[in-house]
Structure 1
Amino acid sequence: MFSFAKKHYFPSNLAENIPLSTPVDKLEFTVFDTETTGFNVAKDDRLIALGAVKIKNLQVIEDSAYQTYINPNRQIPREITELTGITQEQTIEAPTALMAIEDLRDLAAGQSACYVGHYIAFDMQVIKSELKRNNLTWKQPKTLDTLDLIGYIAPNYDMRDLEKYARDFGTRIYQRHSALGDALTTAFLFTELLQICQERGIKTWGDLLNIGTN
């Protein structure tokens, strides 16, 4: 008889039951970004870095910034090292993916309304794939994508990368293809987008949910 290991749920650690009337400028968010060995994260590619930072009251809390390299238990392709600057040597003694994801969860600390990213669907796939390898399932936590806010503000925008968006909206740009650098760039872009959304009538958590929170 075959026996199958029971999957366990991984808590999102987000705040629950936030009143829909809560003003946008009173919300807290956890912004994160990942770096991987490639795009096929459901199969062979693995997480090699994770960076995150919190936003509170429309302010990026730089003191909360978190970054770690991650041991992928596989070779890092040369082109990925050239793109990200992350070498095999830097990851040999690094934490496991699960340890880094637990740190991300703890950063949310029961206060954040949702997780935020730039094209966050990919980052969520990365996290879920790593959790699956540990026999864990992450029930879809609430997420917000900067691309959804940009689509609301400027629906005719072409798809561009994070740096170009940050330049167009006049926000800070940190080191590209660095998990923390991209998380910080995303966080400052996100706060600018939230302020523009407020000017256009998106005043509450309920309003924000209607734009595109998953």
Structure 2
Amino acid sequence: MFKKKPSLPHTPYSEYPLNTSLRELTFTVFDTETTGFAVGANDRIIELAAVTVRQLEVEQRTFQTYVNPCREIPAEITRLTGISGETVENSPLALEALEAFFDFADQTASGIWVGHYVAFDMMVLKKEAQRHGYRLNFPICLDTLNLIGFISPSNQMLDLEKYALQFGTKIFNRHEALGDALTTANLFCALLILLEQRGKRTLADLIEISEMNSRMLQF
């Protein structure tokens, strides 16, 4: 995943044929928490979590780590996430956390990442890698918002919890990376089932829908 001279050793992600059915795909659903939204400038990652989706079900095996941002965590972020300086003071730095996350995805042979408003989380990982002198090559990344845009195009909201309520899926601890990853994963499974019912049954269908409904986050 990292590219540098010399390159940092890392197991390559699995590649799926485009005609692979949804039920044969393995997904890594992930989420981040940060010190703020200016991740291209001074804000840093403080938590990273992920969960595996396989055969349209959320698996029990999860990944979660706090991250030491080497800077002060604003009081409003602590109120929102419950993460304080004391929480992260003995936690790994960003590069170590990213490597652990990649290892988690590799162990499940997942070649597809999923997030809710995933462009932000991708930017978080990309910028943290760049700060250590590495370039991050992403696998296929899917956004639940794009799938919702296909299934229910009239919706313009972004809130994860509201969508979980709309589609009748479980809601876990909000504004915690693992809780939001689990909430997103359960929502994602419900969306995949709805896509199947509409005749969208392959990886190629997912990619097409994502490109048609792509929502890019500007920084």
1:19-168 matches, cutoff 5 A? 19-62=17-60, 64-109=61-106, 111-168=109-166
* Offset of residue 7 of structure 1: 7.7
- CA RMSD, Structure 1 to Structure 2 (Å): 1.8
The answer (yes or no) to whether the contact 2:78–2:84 under 8 Å persists in 1 is: yes
1:10 deviates by 7.9
Q: Which residue of 1 aligns with 2:200?
A: 202
| Deviations, residues 41-65 of structure 1 (Å, cap 9, x unaligned) | 1110000001100011111012x21
1:70-105 per-position Cα deviation (integer Å, ceiling 9, x unaligned): 100000000000000001101100011111111111
1:25 to partner: Cα distance: 0.9
Give TM-score, length-normalised by structure 2. 0.90
Uncovered stretches (5+) of structure 1, i.e. residues with no partner: none
Counterpart secondary structure, 2:28: strand
Cα 1:190–1:10 change in 2 (3 A) is farther
- Alignment partner, residue 13 of structure 2: 14
Q: 1:89 & 1:108 partners in 2: Cα distance?
A: 28
Tell me the alpha carbon deviations over residues 160-183 of structure 1, each in whole angstroms, 9 at most, x when there is no partner: 300000000000000000000000
Which residues of structure 2 form unaligned runs of 5+?
Answer: 215-219
Amino acid of the structure 2 residue aligned with 1:24:
L
Question: In the alignment, is the contact (CA less than 8 A) between 1:12 and 1:139 conserved in 2?
Answer: no
In 1, the alpha carbon distance for the partners of 2:95 and 2:7 equals: 13
- Does the 8 Å CA contact 2:66/2:88 hold for their aligned counterparts? yes
Most deviating of 201-210 and 27-36: 201-210
Moved more, 204-213 or 93-102: 204-213
8 A contact 1:53–1:184 mirrored in 2: yes
Cα deviations by residue, 1:99-149 (Å, 9 ceiling, x for unpaired): 111111111117213110000000000000000011010123210000000
Aligned residues: 208
Q: Is the 8 A contact 1:169 1:192 kept in 2?
A: yes
Q: Does the CA contact (< 8 Å) of 1:13 and 1:105 recur in 2?
A: no
Q: Determine the C-alpha separation between the residues in 1 that align with 2:190 and 2:202.
A: 16
Aligned partners of 1:40, 1:10: CA distance in 2, in Å? 30
State the percentage of identical aligned residues: 50
Q: TM-score, normalised to structure 1's length? A: 0.92
Measured in 2, the distance between the counterparts of 1:19 and 1:6 equals: 30
